Chains A and B, each alone.
Chain A
Amino acid sequence: MAAGFKIAEPLEYHRSFLKENCRPDGRELSEFRTTTLNIGSISTADGSALVKVGNTTVMCGIKVELTNPLVEAPGKGFIVPNVDLPPLCSSRFRPGPPGEQAQAASQFIADVIESSEVIQTEDLCIERGKLCWVLYCDMMCVDYDGNVLDACIIALLAALKNTKLPEVTINKDTGSTRTSFCVFDDSILIVDPTAEEEGLSTSHLTVVTDEKERLCVVHKPGGTPLSAEKLQECIGRATARQREIQKLVDKVVHSVKTAQ
């Protein structure tokens, strides 16, 4: 009847695990799910990457096009990130235009790109005021099992590294990674939440750090309050995670390069 307990009283069910400092899927509170990365799998895209964080799967495809820069910013190109959460990835999403969650995710990714300066939009300019590149970065969630923003950032980063612009070199030396936390019952912190854990927790926190371990985004869209000490704890964990992901991305990019 354990399964009955899980569905009838999901919150009590999770609490009973957290009391023992573990989670229903066997992980510890601060343990991430296995993350795998595959790049360049889509030949129609100019850059692509597939990321799996546990069950959560996100595919990022980048299409490069040419356009005229804006009059008010003649020396800048465009990066247009969009996150799509199609009905395919979970029964919670309905067909039609993107919902609030997808829109907030798109805005979040746009903020991350701007704050972390992953790509300088100036580098995308070909001729000042005349011609520039536009990078359409579409992140498509294929399997929604929590922590989608993390997966999106990793996918975006890997896909950007995989993108080659004809006759243009971009310096993409700053990478950034994010880490998601969930707060349970106002006091217990867990990382890399699954969809179920996300639904039951009282607050979410996302920390994005760059290679130089500076913070890019500390995003907490409301929820139960958090003290400064807890915040510090999250940031410490995020920087550690950043190094792990950086290693993973570098490894995969390198392996693809040597294969060519």
Chain B
Amino acid sequence: MMEVCGSTNVSLREFGCEQTLLSRPDGSASFVQGDTSVIAAVYGPAEVKVSKEIYDRATLEVLIQPKVGLPSVRERSQEQCVRETCEASLLLTLHPRSSLTLVLQLIHDDGSRLACFLNAACMALMDAGLPMSCLFCGVTCAINADSEIITDPTAAQEKESRALMTFAIDSKEQRVMMSYTKGSFSVHELQQCIAVSQKASENIFQFYRDSVRRRYSKNL
């Protein structure tokens, strides 16, 4: 792993999470990062449409609902990112010919929304008890005009940034599962951002573990 230089800020905003907050879905979670907030709901394994049936694994669908209005092309592209990340961590072959649906509702957007979608998705999948080979989390990094790296930026910080990167990191080896970038940057900056995200992911995974422990505290 690369050395994280001293000037970069690995601080993350305050997190919040609640599992099983909805009664209808098979699994649900809300995830809050600062003022950004997302609710995720998972349905399945349920019956699958014949046209979408895959004979040796489950079919996963991801739907992202923006705060207002209909989902647009931007949501579609983020859906693809979330879906493929979930597909890589879920053990889909254990539920062949069935469907999984993940609905992500944006409650409030104050930056790092893709990261928040990923975190909410992971908590909801865990809540639904779907078999997963590892956990994943999302981290957004912004590079501002002074070439400083800001983790988990707010909407205002995102706007001022020169480049914006979101990574999904897996819990096993802290490798990059997904990357989504905007703006231009050097190779060195990319490597730095990845290193920072990997460091930040440790905090998030610890947070995951703590909130699951809290949830099961009654059963201990």
Direct touch of chains A and B (CB < 8 A): yes
Residue-wise, chain B 182-208 has the 8 Å CB interface mask toward A (1 for contact) of: 111111001100110000000000000
Q: How far is the CB of B186 from chain A (nearest CB, A)?
A: 6
Per-residue interface assignment for chain B, residues 134 to 175, with 1 indicating a CB less than 8 Å from any chain A CB and 0 otherwise:
000000000000000000000000000001010011101101
- CB of B176 within 8 A of CB of A225, answer yes
User: Within 8 Å of chain B (Cβ to Cβ): is A219?
Assistant: yes
Q: Does the CB pair B185–A225 fall under 8 Å?
A: no
Nearest A residue to B74 via CB reads A107
User: Given the complex of chains A and B, what is the CA–CA distance between A232 and B163 in angstroms?
Assistant: 19
Q: At the interface, yes or no: B95 with Cβ under 8 Å from chain A?
A: no
- What count of chain B residues pass the 8 Å CB interface test? 40
B interface footprint on A76-112 (CB within 8 Å = 1, 0 otherwise): 0000000000000000000000001101101110110
Specify which of B1, B85, B184, B190 is in contact with A222 (CB 8 Å cutoff): B85
Given A107-B76, A108-B77, A115 and B175 contact (CB-CB distance below 8 Å): no
Which residues of chain B are within 8 angstroms of A223 by Cβ–Cβ distance? 84-85, 87-88, 177-178
Q: Are the C-beta atoms of A225 and B73 separated by less than 8 Å? A: no
- The answer to whether B182 and A219 touch across the interface, beta carbons within 8 angstroms, is no
A214 within 8 A of B: yes
Q: In the complex the two chains form, is B178's CB within 8 Å of A107's CB?
A: no
Q: Number of residues in A with C-beta < 8 Å to the partner?
A: 35
Complex alpha-carbon distance, A63 and B177, angstroms: 38
Q: How far is the CB of B160 from chain A (nearest CB, A)?
A: 16
Could you tell me if A103 and B73 are in contact, using CB atoms closer than 8 angstroms?
A: yes
Q: Are B73 and A220 in contact (CB under 8 A)?
A: no
Chain A contacts of B9 at CB under 8 A? none
Report yes or no: B187 in contact with A235, Cβ–Cβ below 8 A.
Answer: yes
Q: Is residue A166 contacting chain B, with contact meaning CB distance below 8 A?
A: no
Q: Which of B74, B88, B190 sits near A224, CB closer than 8 Å?
A: B88
**What are 25 sample pairs from A and B whose C-beta atoms fall under 8 A apart?**
A100-B80, A104-B77, A104-B79, A107-B77, A111-B182, A114-B182, A203-B84, A203-B88, A216-B181, A217-B181, A219-B180, A219-B181, A220-B179, A221-B80, A221-B81, A221-B178, A222-B81, A222-B86, A222-B178, A225-B169, A225-B170, A225-B172, A227-B173, A227-B176, A228-B191
Report, nearest first, the 7 A-B pairs whose CB atoms are least far apart. A222-B84, A225-B175, A222-B85, A107-B77, A103-B76, A220-B179, A104-B77
